Structure 1
Amino acid sequence: MNPEHPADLLQRLAPGERVVVRYRIEGGFTDALGVLLRAGSGDCTVSTRRGDVLIPYPLITAAKPVPPAPPRRERKFPA
């Protein structure tokens, strides 16, 4: 059985889906958690809390859709 490459999954998802993408960086791996903005032929863009992340497909090791973020809780005490 030949496992599907995560890029194939990302290309099937609609923009606006919430995803987590694990990819290689110098010295290890990192994750991008956010909204899939675009899945092109050679890379994808994920909008995270820290900004948009462009990820080339050859660096991706895993990807999957995730449920919506839970609602933010109100503060109990004033800031």
Structure 2
Amino acid sequence: MHPLLGVPERQLACAEYIQALEECHARGWIRYLGACNSQRRELVLCLRKERLNRTARNREEAKVRTAKKKEVWAELEREG
């Protein structure tokens, strides 16, 4: 099961894969026979790449925030 696709970030990053899967699903009952599996697989790989990039970006931002907090606490301890 993939995450929600209505998020603008995902629509930009994986738009072509989302469109391909939606077009395949629109063809009707053939999707139940596995005809859309390759499109789905490509979408999942794109979403995974996007998630890993977001996780790495968040980790780096958290390191910066933690460093700033430590600086502020150290300054407060020096003053007090």
TM range (shorter): under 0.3
TM-score by length of 2: 0.20
Bigger Rg, which one: 2
The structure with more helix, counted as a fraction of residues: 2
